[in-house]
Structure 1
Amino acid sequence: MAVTQQIARVAQGILEEMSANPEVLDRLLRFKLTGPEDILDLDWAPKALLALAQDSLSEAQVRALRDLLEGSKRLNKECATGLQDDLVWSDVTCLYPSEVQHASSILAGLTSSDILRSFPPTREAQMELRGAMLPDDPVEYYAAHFTALLHFAERAADRGLGLALWWD
């Protein structure tokens, strides 16, 4: 099984329930708490997106992107990875709706070309971004994942939703 980043859009009340109740958190991690339209699979793109952002975006934009990719706090301190440790490979973190709105507003108007300004020209340098399994078309891969993340977060902000984030 590949380890990829998952992000779910959820209401603040649900974030609070997951924070207090591992069974609710477990339902999220089993993809039974939200519909598929409220889940974003970012594959392995986050590490490289942050590296590209460091060289392409402002400090505030990098912080906002980091928040969208890492969250601001662990969701459930007592049960950080849900009820079964084999479901996830990281602590589950979250961003509350106000934090999603803040990050989304900072990143508003960016396009994939903004983050790809610093994309390495050589395959060897590109491998350092991603590792040994570089996609066939890395520019398209990172552009698509960056755009998907921005749209996903913008929609969460518009709907007043927070985010739950984990690697599974």
Structure 2
Amino acid sequence: MAVTQQLARVSGAYITRCRASAAVSPDADPEWDPPAEDWIDLDWSPRFLRDACELAGVDSPTLEALNYALNGDASVDVSVLSHPEATGGFGPTPTALTPASVADVAAKLAGLDWDRVMAEIPADCRETIAGGDFSGDPLAYLTTHFMALRDFYVEAAQRGLFVVSWWD
């Protein structure tokens, strides 16, 4: 099974409930099960999205927002989710962004002209931007995943939710 980037939109109350469940569970299971409509699998796109933005010369604040969107903030403690029954236990400890950070990230991603990013990728990089083992149209792959990420964050911001990030 491949390990891919996952994100979930949840309320602060939901995170608190997970902490409480882990505290009383004999095996510290946080009973993590966000609704399917609030969960997104970004596949292997995170590195390729960053690479595309760097190649296109996206400004530093927007690149930082993209990195935050994908990596979360380690200072937001959601370590209780680092449980095999919750987030699979692969990769680093799950991270999260607070609703205020989610709103900032959403605004920066919404302001990014993705068509310009795609147009700025040098022609000689277009076939390899998504990796050597990739088959299909890499620009379509990146566009699909960027739009999903952007829309996911915009909705999380509108609803005042945290975004939790992990690899599974």
Q: TM-score range by the shorter chain?
A: 0.7 to 0.9
Counterpart residue number, 1:101:
103
Q: Give 1:100-119 correspondences, 5 Å limit.
A: 100-119=102-121
- The match for 1:23 is 29
Please give the TM-score of this superposition, normalised by the length of structure 2.
0.81
Q: What SS does structure 1 have at the residue aligned with 2:164? A: strand
Secondary structure at 1:106 match in 2 = helix
- 1:58-115, Cα deviation, whole Å (9 max, x unpaired): 11101111111000116444x5621469924222111111110111112223243133
Q: Which runs of 5+ in 1 are unaligned?
A: none
Counterpart AA for 2:111: G
Q: What displacement does 1:120 show?
A: 3.9
Q: Which amino acid aligns with 1:116?
A: M
Preserved contact between residue 29 and residue 86 of structure 2 (Cα < 8 Å): no
**Distance in 2 separating the partners of 1:136 and 1:162:** 33
Q: What is the deviation of 1:36? A: 1.2
Cα distance in 1 for partners of 2:18, 2:53 equals 31
Instruction: Quote how far apart the aligned CAs of 1:12 are.
Output: 1.7
Larger Rg: 2
CA contact (8 A) 2:9 2:164 kept: yes
Equivalent residue runs for 1:112-151 within 5 Å: 112-122=114-124, 126-127=127-128, 129-151=129-151
- CA shift in 2, pair 1:116/1:154, >3 Å: same
Aligned residues: 159
TM-score (structure 1 length as normaliser): 0.81
- Distance in 2, Cα, partners of 1:85 & 1:162: 17
User: Could you list the runs of 5+ residues in structure 2 that have no partner in the other structure?
Assistant: 23-27
Question: How high is the sequence identity, in percent, across the aligned residues?
Answer: 30
Amino acid at match of 1:65: L
- State whether residues 15 and 75 of structure 1, in contact with CA within 8 Å, keep that contact through their aligned partners in structure 2: no
Q: Which runs of 4+ in 1 moved over 3 A?
A: 16-22, 74-77, 83-86
Equivalent-residue separation in structure 2 for 1:95 and 1:18 (angstroms): 16
Give the match for residue 158 of structure 2: 158
In structure 1, what residue type is equivalent to 2:163?
A: L
